[in-house]
Amino acid sequence: MSDDGFAVKLEGVTKRFGKHTAISDFDFEVPRGTICGLLGPNGSGKTTSIRMIMGILHPDEGRVSLFGSDPDVTRRTKVGYLPEERGLYKKMKVLELLTFLAEIRGVRRSEGRKRAGVWLERLGLTEWSDKRAEDLSKGMQQKVQFIGTVLHDPELLILDEPFSGLDPINQDVLEEIVRDYHAKGTTILFSTHLMHQAEKLCERVCLISNSKKVLDAELKELKAAERKGVVAVEFEGPDTWIRGPEVDHVEEVNGALHLILRDGADHQAILARGVQSEARILRFDLVEPTLHEIFVRHAGADAVGDAGMPVLAGASGT
Amino acid sequence: MWHNVWAVIRREYLQRVRSKWFIMVTLLAPIIMIAMIVIPTFIAARSDRSDRDLLIVDGSGVLYERLASDFEASGYTVAEEPWTVDVVTDLRQQASDGEIGGFLVLDDLTLETGEAVLYANERPSLIRRMTLRSAIASAALEYQLEQQGLDAGAMLAGGELRVEMLVDEGSDTDDPQFFVAYMGTMFLYMVILIYAVSVMRATLEEKTSRIVEVIVSSMKPWHLMLGKILGVGAVSLTQIAVWLSMGALAVGAGIPMLIAARPELANLDTVVAVLPGLWLLILFVGLFLFGFFMYSGLYAAVGAMCSTDEEAQQAQFPVMMFLIIPILFVLQAIQEPLTPLVTWLSLFPLFSPVLMWARVAGGGVPGWQIGLSFVLMGATVIGVAWLAGRIYKVGILMAGKKPSLPELWRWVREA
Residue B293 has pLDDT above 90, yes or no: yes
Query: How many structural domains does chain B have?
Result: 2
In a domain, B374, yes or no: yes
- Confidence band of A158 (pLDDT split at 50, 70, 90): very high
**Of B7, B11, B220, which is closest to A73 when you measure between CB atoms?**
B220
Looking at beta carbons, which residues of chain A come within 8 Å of B210? 83, 85-87
Residues B7, A81: C-beta atoms closer than 8 Å? no
Nearest CA to B52 among B120, B137, B106? B120
Residue of A nearest to B211 (CA): A87
**Of B4, B209, B213, which is closest to A56 when you measure between CB atoms?**
B213
Condensed to tens digits (0 to 9), the pLDDT of residues B182-217 reads: 888 888 999 999 999 999 999 998 888 888 888 888
Residues B211, A79: C-beta atoms closer than 8 Å? no
- Say if CB A29 and CB A6 are below 8 A apart: yes
Residues B218, A90: C-beta atoms closer than 8 Å? no
Q: Return the higher-pLDDT residue of A148 and B174.
A: A148
Q: Domains of chain A: which residue ranges?
A: 6-222, 227-287
A78 touches chain B (CB under 8 A): no
3-state class (DSSP) for residue B310: helix
* Mean of all residue pLDDT scores within chain A: 85
Residue B392 has pLDDT above 70, yes or no: yes
Query: B176 and B154 share a domain?
Result: no
Query: B150 and B217 share a domain?
Result: no
pLDDT at A305: 45
Residue B52 has pLDDT above 70, yes or no: no
Looking at beta carbons, which residues of chain A come within 8 Å of B218? 73, 76-77, 104-105
In a domain, B21, yes or no: no
pLDDT mean over A284-299: 79
Looking at beta carbons, which residues of chain B come within 8 Å of A83? 210, 213-214
Gap between the Cα atoms of A136 and A123, Å rounded: 14
A66 touches chain B (CB under 8 A): no
φ/ψ (deg, to 5) at A2: -100, 140
* Mean of all residue pLDDT scores within chain B: 82
- Confidence band of A314 (pLDDT split at 50, 70, 90): very low
In a domain, B336, yes or no: yes
Residue of B nearest to A108 (CA): B3
Task: Report the amino acid identity of residue A160.
Answer: D
Looking at beta carbons, which residues of chain B come within 8 Å of A148? 214
Residue B402 has pLDDT above 70, yes or no: yes
| Interfacial B residues in 196-235 facing A (CB < 8 Å) | 205-206, 208-220
- The CATH number linked to B145 is 3.40.190
Task: Report the amino acid identity of residue B177.
Answer: Q
Query: B273 and B358 share a domain?
Result: yes
Report the percentage of chain B scoring pLDDT > 90.
Answer: 24
In a domain, B178, yes or no: yes
pLDDT at A286: 81
A18 touches chain B (CB under 8 A): no
pLDDT mean over B57-61: 81
A256 touches chain B (CB under 8 A): no
Q: Return the higher-pLDDT residue of A96 and A310.
A: A96
Would you say the pTM of this structure is higher than 0.90?
Answer: no
Residue A316 has pLDDT above 50, yes or no: no
Report the percentage of chain B scoring pLDDT > 70.
Answer: 86
Domain membership of residue B304 as a residue range = 169-414
A104 touches chain B (CB under 8 A): yes
Residue of B nearest to A78 (CA): B218
- Confidence band of A307 (pLDDT split at 50, 70, 90): very low
Query: B151 and B243 share a domain?
Result: no
In a domain, B383, yes or no: yes
Query: B196 and B301 share a domain?
Result: yes
pLDDT mean over A160-173: 88
Boundary residue ending a domain (B104, B139, B158): B158
- Confidence band of B164 (pLDDT split at 50, 70, 90): low
pLDDT mean over A209-235: 82
Query: B206 and B312 share a domain?
Result: yes
Condensed to tens digits (0 to 9), the pLDDT of residues A194-205 reads: 888 888 888 999
- Say if CB A47 and CB A160 are below 8 A apart: yes
Q: What phi-psi label fits residue B142: left (phi over 0), alpha (psi between -120 and 50 degrees) or beta?
A: alpha
Gap between the Cα atoms of B414 and B408, Å rounded: 10
Q: What distance in Å separates residue B15's CA from the closest CA in chain A?
A: 7
Gap between the Cα atoms of A81 and A89, Å rounded: 17
pLDDT at B272: 64
ipTM summary value: 0.77
- Confidence band of B156 (pLDDT split at 50, 70, 90): low
Residues B219, A148: C-beta atoms closer than 8 Å? no
- Confidence band of A313 (pLDDT split at 50, 70, 90): very low
Condensed to tens digits (0 to 9), the pLDDT of residues B130-143 reads: 778 878 888 888 88
User: How many Cα neighbours within 13 Å face the side chain of B98?
Assistant: 0
Pairing mode, strands A35-39 and A204-209:
parallel
Long-range contacts of A132-141 (CB under 8 A, 24+ apart): A132/A90, A132/A91, A132/A92, A132/A93, A132/A94, A133/A88, A133/A89, A133/A90, A133/A91, A133/A92, A133/A93, A133/A94, A133/A97, A134/A90, A134/A91, A136/A94, A138/A165, A139/A165, A139/A166, A139/A167, A139/A170, A141/A86, A141/A88
Gap between the Cα atoms of A109 and A117, Å rounded: 12
B19 touches chain A (CB under 8 A): yes
In a domain, B2, yes or no: no
Residue of B nearest to A85 (CA): B210
Give CA separation, B133 vs B42, B75, B102, B117, B278, in Å: 21, 15, 16, 10, 31
Boundary residue ending a domain (B158, B193, B228): B158
Boundary residue ending a domain (B130, B158, B186): B158
Report the percentage of chain A scoring pLDDT > 70.
Answer: 92
Residue B255 has pLDDT above 70, yes or no: yes
Residue B159 has pLDDT above 70, yes or no: no
| Interfacial B residues in 350-409 facing A (CB < 8 Å) | 397
Query: B178 and B109 share a domain?
Result: no
Query: B268 and B133 share a domain?
Result: no
Taking each helix axis as running N to C, give the angle between helix A94-103 and helix A138-150, from 0 to 180 degrees, rounded to the nearest 10: 30
Condensed to tens digits (0 to 9), the pLDDT of residues B256-267 reads: 777 777 666 666
pLDDT at B97: 78
B15 touches chain A (CB under 8 A): yes
Gap between the Cα atoms of B386 and B391, Å rounded: 9
Query: B190 and B96 share a domain?
Result: no
Query: B93 and B227 share a domain?
Result: no
Query: B133 and B207 share a domain?
Result: no
- Confidence band of B406 (pLDDT split at 50, 70, 90): confident
Query: B241 and B387 share a domain?
Result: yes
pLDDT at A312: 39
Least confident of A33-42, A268-277, B152-161: B152-161
Nearest CA to A35 among A141, A162, A145? A162
Looking at beta carbons, which residues of chain A come within 8 Å of B217? 54-56, 76-77, 79, 81
- Confidence band of A318 (pLDDT split at 50, 70, 90): very low
Nearest CA to A149 among B351, B214, B207, B117? B214
Q: What phi-psi label fits residue A158: left (phi over 0), alpha (psi between -120 and 50 degrees) or beta?
A: beta
Give the CATH class of A6-222.
alpha beta
